Structure 1
């Protein structure tokens, strides 16, 4: 069976990493898997996708940034690949793929990895909800990646009707560390590591404020691992300098080996205003590093079991976040233990495989977590 997976671009995001892993797994299972990127822009390339095939519809230029402008190129690639089924792996590319495949009679599956309703964005929320309804109606089946999304009003009714299913994110265990400690992590001062794109969603402003508050009690530093807008990064650097911690905040870019950084960190922090199901959080759980997460960081409350496997703080409580960071760099941190066993990548990938095969074969299927049995 030929299965195509579509991603918006090849940035070093959790969605792209998960879709690359899925493509490679499908090849191991005997399928012809092709990863299609709307743009070649980003950290990953064909070598990271192999043995699955990789095709970029557009190159990494300014024109390729427009979703509407890349629609004709994506349509040409999809027609050339001629898959039996298409999986759209991330919110950014859904509309592009929907427009590019209209009339092609190829079943589509959309994966929703972020909530449609977000605090303080009423107009955009209405658009997102309408868009998600349009996409779900045009799909053979759709997927949400976390329980928090399954409870979102935009999806809960569709789940009850069987049009959307929950497939929780999972990761492959990293095993024994072999990589050296990154030079940027070698410091006598405890290091807090944050992983994710430089966007307002990640609430780095709140995290920097928490680092500044914590430094009034004990010196610690923040390392941010991720790419993004240079102007936004400069604004964050200016904030850190204004709060007196300019020399305590480092923007380290992207990496192929996030585990080397996680294992060298004293704490992993995720302060996001919203998420779906953070791959970076699951990687931190796997690495065994103490964690501080915001209550709004997707399914962090569920992953950390309400505080049993890490500390949870409101995203707008910088003082509370600082206190949690100080607790986690202390002598008795709350560690994730064996929690990662509940988020197995193989189970996740089997669920996607069964879903895609079921769509193509037109069969009713069971996923272990069925549309009407999510717990």
Structure 2
């Protein structure tokens, strides 16, 4: 029996908005990259572009948060500029995260995960989806998700804290241990496991191409001033370990509300503390064939940018060099979205690599996807 929500979603499946992907008037000449790297507009009118997943034929599917839509971006002639942007689904509940596995598209709403079978054959006329994970928390505060399948075949799903700072178990307001964590689901057996606990709001993760270690970003709490606490890049050593929230931030900063009588040694410290409020979202290990060899296995980080810092921070793509499980360098890759007058014209949100080795960067503020290529100088 179809519910009202199902009918709204099903109706939306048959509504497609098609737009041209012509060049925009964005000042991309302000963006700076290392020598030999070039950035261009791959697609525009990709409203509120968030996580991307690329099909076998090269269709780029893109989620959104506030827009409630899923896009299909098509570059038919493979010239590096998309020909069409199609809204293939509308009226979804913050479908920020999506992934492709065995030809099927998985879309994360706040409280469930949907599967659209054989997406390349059906993206212009989507049938009703199958619900593969249901019953997730319904809180929208940090409820949008980034999802992906790991090398182990499990589907990884973060569930953010439903607040700026709070305890999420055993309280009158919240009592759900799934909050402030990252879970993984075996869709074949229905089994669920904790990957990480004490994670305030992760909207990006990836696996190291060589070691398969799971790395993720985490956004630090607000309202402690401009400079604390740091945002974080973390890596999981043992399934289910606790990364400190809401008791400790950045590995050593006790929370003034919840840190009393807590032991810092009980929690896992970050691999890297970032500047406060830079809001790291998508993280991506590069393993393509186009960039310089020195870029392989580097972790690229989309610093989405601060919303409440006096002098804005972030608004750039950074790259972390990882050696023996440790970050040994953290350097800019793309910057220039932040203007000298403390305003910004773009906000990088997610990163992925195309089959040719070029890099795509989603911008949910400018509503575009950029493409980064490399040619030896």
TM-score between both structures, scaled by the size of structure 2 = 0.24
Higher strand proportion: 2
TM-score between both structures, scaled by the size of structure 1 = 0.24
